[in-house]
Amino acid sequence: MTSNHGAIKRKDFSKIRTGLEVPSLIEMQIRSYADFLQLDVPPEKKEDRGLQAALTSVFPIVDHNHSAILEFVNYSLGNSKYNARDCIEHGMTYAAPLRIRVRLIVRQKTETEEAQEVRDVKEQEIYVGELPLMSERGTFIINGTERVVVSQLHRSPGVTFMHDKGKTYASGKVLFSARIIPYRGSWLDFEFDARDVLYVRVDRRRKMPATVLLKAFGYSTDEILRMYYPVEEITIVKGKLLRKLDIEIHAGLRSLTDVSPKRSNELIVREGQKLSRSIIQKMIAAGVKAIPVSPEELVGRTAVTEIVDTSKKETLVEKNSVI
């Protein structure tokens, strides 16, 4: 159906003449998307920006043996089957097929040299999918509906620390939390509960223990415990429990017995005396590497490693369990 009527002319009743013409308000969106696609630029002259930069950031793809390398060559955008008006009328998406040309390089090791030589090189054009096109009105047509680009605020990347000011629980306990906002990727939210257990949320979804995230990064239970908690080394010598001296852990504790060097009768520390940093340094300088510890002090502690009875080959205490 066509119309014989021409464009309606607007009458201007203003008394003051307009000095400047009203610029195109959608020129920035149209030019920005054109720069993103670079359709009029030959493949060898495309700048590393927009779609070109997105594709080159993924390639090359190398297998774990470095025997096959997949390189990106260029991309091409075909023509849309339907124009913008047809897509609106028939409820279709205004898009064009995106194809990329890739190069597969197969290498093999030589018998005499460690370096790999090229065995085969293949190039092929691959269909990736449909890429939405922008109409002359600066809109995208998705399933027959016009959609526009709207500017929105973006949270600055970084780490933010917060607390609830004690409003979550009636006891007034303050719960602390932290949020990691990356430049690109998922948000991470760390939060404590009322029992001081640390949880993490990925993209504000269901919370899980923070140790699950650390284990996903490859850390073992032993490494996590040593990373976040001070670890004491306890040994059994002639039926006595001895703790290895550590100035960071034992400063401020009291000695259970009198302490003197093996080859000297000089008393360095008396029983019940508080161990200061200077006293511990003096003990280490005198050759004292360990001090006694009572069994009662170990009750309630967490074992970093398994405690095994070597004579019976029996595990007495499991790793990461309370003694």
Q: Give yes or no: residues 280 and 242 share one domain.
A: yes
C-beta separation of 55 from 72 below 8 A: yes
Q: Are residues 143 and 212 in the same domain?
A: no
Mean pLDDT of 62-80: 88
Over residues 252-279, mean pLDDT: 75
212 and 168 both lie in a single domain: yes
Q: How many CB atoms lie within 10 A of CB 225?
A: 18
| Domain final residue, candidates 187, 219, 251 | 219
pLDDT in tens, 210-251: 999 999 999 988 888 888 888 888 877 777 788 777 777 777
* CA–CA separation, 95 and 134 (whole Å): 8
| The two three-digit tokens of residue 181, written as one number | 């906002």
Q: Are residues 199 and 243 in the same domain?
A: no
Provide the mean pLDDT of the chain: 83
Residue 6 within a domain:
no
Q: Is residue 10 part of a domain?
A: no
Task: Locate 99 and state its tokens.
Answer: 């194809």
Tell me the pairing of strands 208-209 and 198-202.
Answer: antiparallel
Residue range(s) defining the domain that contains residue 208: 158-219
What is the rounded CA–CA span in Å between residue 291 and residue 257?
A: 8
Beta strands at 95-109 and 116-132: parallel, antiparallel or unpaired? antiparallel
Q: Residue 302: pLDDT above 50?
A: yes
- Identify whether residues 262 and 289 lie together within a single domain: yes
User: What are 17-56's pLDDT values in tens digits?
Assistant: 777 777 888 888 889 899 999 988 888 888 889 999 999 9
| Same-domain status, 51 and 125 | yes
Looking at the structure, do residues 106 and 172 belong to the same domain, yes or no?
A: no
Q: DSSP letter string over 70-125?
A: EEEEEEEE---SS-HHHHHHHT---EEEEEEEEEEEEEEE-SS-SSEEEEEEEEEE
Does the pLDDT at position 194 exceed 80?
yes
- When pLDDT is averaged across residues 87-93 and rounded to a whole number, the result is 91
Confirm whether 225 is domain-assigned. Answer: no
Where a domain ends, among 95, 127, 148? Answer: 148
Question: What is the C-alpha to C-alpha distance for residues 230 and 244, in angstroms, rounded to an integer?
Answer: 13
> Domain ends where: 148, 180, 205?
148
The percent of residues above 90 in pLDDT, for the chain, comes to: 24
How many structural domains is the chain composed of?
A: 3
Asked if residue 206 and residue 168 are part of one domain, the reply reads yes
Residue 293, pLDDT score: 78
Helix ranges (H only) for the chain are 27-37, 50-56, 84-90, 210-216, 221-228, 247-250, 277-285, 295-298
Asked, for residue 278, whether it belongs to a domain, the answer is yes
168 belongs to a structural domain: yes
Residue 190: pLDDT band by 50, 70, 90 thresholds? very high
Mean pLDDT score, 315-323: 80
Report d(CA 49, CA 35) in Å as an integer: 8
Look at residue 4 and tell me whether its pLDDT is greater than 60: no
State how far the Cα of 269 lies from the Cα of 281, in Å rounded to an integer: 12
> Please, which contacts does 80-85 make with residues 24 or more away whose CB atoms are closer than 8 Å?
80/133, 84/135, 84/136, 84/137, 84/141
User: Are residue 51 and residue 137 in the same domain, yes or no?
Assistant: yes
In this structure, what token pair is assigned to residue 185?
Answer: 């990727």
What CATH number did the domain enclosing 171 receive? 3.90.1110.10
Predicted model pTM: 0.48
